[in-house]
Amino acid sequence: MPTTPTRPEVMKLQQNIEKVIKGKTDIVRHAMICVLARGHLLLEDVPGVGKTTLAQCLARSLNLSFSRIQFTSDMLPSDILGVTLYDQARREFDFKPGPLFANIVVADEINRTTPKTQSALLEAMNNAQVSIEKQTYDLPRPFMVLATQNPIEFHGTFPLPKSQMDRFMMRLHIGYPDLENEITVLREQRTGFSAERLDPVVSGEQMIEWQEAVDGVLVSDDLLTYLARVVQATRTSAEIVLGASTRAALALRGAAQGKAWLEGRDYCIPDDIKEMVIPVLAHRIMVKEGFESAGFSHEQETRALRHVMAQVEVPL
C-alpha cells in the first residue's frame, strides 16, 4: 500500500496542496514524486474532478515561475513558444518569449490543440529548449509541463500521439471524491482555500537540491534487472501490441528513486518499482484489439500491466 512521505519538509508541500485537493493523498503523492524525478505529468480524467486545480496547486506551492496555457484548436506554435519581432529603433530583431518560458507550465486541455502545436512541445519537454528561426533558446531550469486532458470527449480534440505521450513521466487519474470529501468541498466552497490563495512552501533552490538527492538514490543491479524484465515483458505480452520504450524504462527508474527518497530511503526496494509501473507505463503501451473491453483505455492498460507484473519474478 502507498505510504505517507516520511520527510517533514516534503510533508509541508503535500499538506499545502491538500488544503485544496481533498481526499486524494495518493494522487498528490505521485504528482510530487514526478516533480522530484524531473518528469512531466499528464492528468487525465472526466471534467470537473480537479485536474487543472491540482496542476495549479502544485505550481503555486513551489516558489518557481509558472504559466497557464489554455489550449484551443486555433492556437499556433508561436502562441506558446514566442515570436521574433523587428525593433525599428535598434534596427535588430528581438525574441519575445511565449508562456512556455516558465519553470512550471500548466498546459490545460492539451488535446484541444492541433498536432502542429502539440509537436512544438516535444523539443521543450525532451531537452528543455526550443528552436525558433534557426535559433535555440534554453528554457528555465527546472522545467516541467503539467498537462490535462479529457479522455471521453472527442469532438474538436486531437489525441496525443504515442511519441508525445512518451514524454510524460506519469499519467494520473484523479477520480471522483468519496461522499465525505465531496461534502467537505461543498461546505468549504466559499470560505475554503483555492489554488490562487496558496502560498509557496518550497523554494526553487530547495526543489533542485531534492532532485539532485533523488538522482543519488541507489538502485541495485538486481532491481535494475527486475525493472528491465518488466519493460521487456510489455513487448512480448500477448495482450500488448506496443510495448514500453527505453525512455519508459529510464522514467520508471527515476520514479522509483523519487518514491524511495520521499519515504526517507537512499536506496530502492522492489515495491518502489511495482508501485510506479502503472502510472509510468500505462499511457505508453497499446493494448491489442482482441483484449479490449468496455471502459476507459487506462483500465485495459492497467489490467494488461498487472498481468505482466504477475509473470515477472520479484527479487528478494
pLDDT digits (tens, 9 = 90+) for 105-127: 988 889 888 888 888 888 888 88
Residues across the chain: 316
Question: How high is the pLDDT of residue 34?
Answer: 95
pLDDT digits (tens, 9 = 90+) for 64-118: 888 889 998 899 998 999 888 877 888 788 889 999 999 889 888 898 888 888 8
Label residue 211 by pLDDT band (50, 70, 90): very high
Indicate the SS3 state at residue 239. Answer: coil
Give the Cα separation of 225 and 184 in Å (integer).
45
Residue 293: alpha-carbon gap to chain centroid: 26
Question: How high is the pLDDT of residue 232?
Answer: 96
Question: How high is the pLDDT of residue 80?
Answer: 92
Question: How high is the pLDDT of residue 101?
Answer: 93
**Average model confidence (pLDDT) for the chain?**
86
Q: Work out the percent of the chain whose per-residue pLDDT is above 70.
A: 92
Q: Which of the pair, 134 or 249, is modelled with greater confidence?
A: 249
Indicate the SS3 state at residue 140. Answer: coil
pLDDT digits (tens, 9 = 90+) for 153-185: 666 678 888 888 899 999 998 888 888 878 877
Q: How much is the pTM?
A: 0.88
Query: Do 93 and 55 form a contact (C-beta atoms < 8 A)?
Result: no
